[in-house]
Structure 1
């Protein structure tokens, strides 16, 4: 998959799931921005998906450098 396609998928995921996320807003209000961010990265299923897409993006960049 190309770098552009991976970036488009990431953007679509962020817009669809993260824009008005209730949990993110709640955790920012109750705890802090840092806590909410850590929750999104480590415990949210969407965050896990984004991590995988990020790894895929890194792989596309590495293969592009080897050409």
Structure 2
């Protein structure tokens, strides 16, 4: 996959699953932005997939 395709895939995943995510909103409200972000990166299956694509970009 080239760079543009990777970025498009990350945007697609983010738009489809992350915007309006109830878990992220809950964790952000209860524990703060850092906890919510950490959850998304480490525990959420979509977040892990986005991170995997990001590693290919870097």
- RMSD of aligned alpha carbons: 0.8
Query: Are residue 37 (structure 1) and residue 44 (structure 2) matched?
Result: no
In structure 2, the partner of 1:14 is 14
Q: Which residue of 1 aligns with 2:51?
A: 51
Structure 1 outlier segments of 4+, above 6 Å: none
Structure 1: 5+ residue stretches without partners: 59-67
Structure 2 Cα separation of the partners of residues 52 and 42 of structure 1? 11
Equivalence for 1:25: 25
Could you tell me which runs of 5 or more consecutive residues in structure 2 were left unpaired when the two chains were aligned: none
1:64 aligns with none
1:57 Cα shift? 1.7
Q: Which residue of 2 aligns with 1:61?
A: none
TM-score by length of 1: 0.81
Q: How many residues align structurally?
A: 58
Q: Please, what TM-score do these two structures have when normalized by structure 2?
A: 0.93
